[in-house]
């Protein structure tokens, strides 16, 4: 039934949704920052119910996709045949270039309540994690682009300022919109958004890594930054045009 509803809506909307029919949704692994931490499934639009409830209520109508397009964010896509398990359901497709703008129009227009009206501060699409080995602010520089781009402001960030940079850390007030991913000036970004489930699994190791960096001696940190991290950072490059100003 979902297929016919989806196909009918796509035809009615002039074929806009057909762009997503053969799209492959983001899977469990990907290249880029923190490749050892899986994304953990799809990042749903803001206001999505728990995954089970969301699947039960979503009718694959594509209204959220069209609304997102009208609002000129184009952040939402429909999972296609490359992801049969999620086929026909909406997800945030590419936070590097199309993050969620948190306009909150998709839950306002959702006809079934699969997406519910939510205050922006209470949205939990996922959790953004900074790859500390690639972040300029953890490797001898000062960069505030991610915190400036965050619609929730500085309260989402903790800074461990020191001789190796301003060392930003994204705390659990993060809404998972992905604007920090877009505006990270590192080539390919040093930030990724993972699902809540994957964040809970990755959190102990991630926090341990951060504490280990902060506890290093100057000599140990020098070896990590100049011997391992900076060559990778220089290879990816700094895209000044990406910086949030």
Where along the chain do its domains lie?
A: 2-122, 127-242
pLDDT-derived band at 195, boundaries 50, 70, 90: very high
CATH architecture of 127-242: 2-Layer Sandwich (3.30)
Tell me if residue 192 falls in helix, strand or coil.
strand
Q: What is d(CA 53, CA 56) in angstroms, rounded to the nearest whole number?
A: 5
**Token duo for residue 236:** 């990816």
Is residue 34 exposed (0-12), middle (13-18) or buried (19+ Cβ within 10 Å)?
Answer: buried
Q: pTM value?
A: 0.86
- Give the Å distances, CA to CA, from 32 to 38, 122, 135, 184: 11, 28, 12, 13
Among the listed residues 197, 194, 136, the one whose alpha carbon sits nearest the alpha carbon of residue 168: 136
The string of pLDDT tens digits covering residues 203-234 is 999 999 999 999 999 999 999 999 999 999 99
76 φ, ψ (degrees, to nearest 5)? -100, 135
The string of pLDDT tens digits covering residues 8-49 is 444 444 444 444 444 445 444 456 899 999 888 899 999 999
Instruction: Give the pLDDT confidence score for residue 30 in this predicted structure.
Output: 53
Let me know how long the chain is: 245
36 contact partners, CB below 8 Å, separation of at least 6: none
């Amino acid at each position: 039934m979902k297929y016919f509803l989806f196909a009918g809506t796509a035809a009615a909307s002039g074929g806009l949704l057909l762009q997503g029919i053969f799209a492959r949704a983001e899977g469990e692994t990907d290249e880029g920052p923190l490749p050892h931490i899986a994304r953990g499934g799809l990042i749903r639009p803001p206001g999505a119910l728990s995954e089970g409830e969301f699947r039960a209520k979503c009718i694959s109508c594509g209204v959220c996709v069209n609304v997102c397009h009208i609002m000129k964010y184009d952040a939402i896509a429909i999972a296609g045949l490359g992801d049969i398990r999620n086929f026909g359901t909406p997800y945030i497709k590419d936070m590097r270039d199309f993050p969620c703008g948190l306009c909150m129009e998709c839950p306002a227009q959702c006809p079934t309540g699969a997406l519910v009206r939510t205050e922006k501060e209470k949205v939990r699409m996922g959790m953004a994690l900074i790859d500390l080995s690639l972040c300029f602010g953890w490797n001898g520089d000062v960069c505030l682009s991610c915190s400036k781009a965050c619609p929730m402001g500085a309260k989402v960030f903790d800074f461990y300022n020191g001789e190796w940079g301003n060392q930003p850390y994204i705390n659990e007030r993060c809404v998972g919109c992905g604007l920090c991913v877009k505006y990270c000036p590192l080539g390919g970004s040093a930030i990724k958004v993972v699902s809540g489930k994957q964040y809970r699994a990755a959190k102990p190791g991630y926090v341990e890594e951060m504490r280990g960096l902060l506890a290093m001696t100057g000599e140990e940190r020098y070896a990590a930054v100049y011997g391992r991290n900076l060559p990778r950072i220089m290879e990816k490059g700094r895209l000044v045009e990406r910086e949030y100003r």
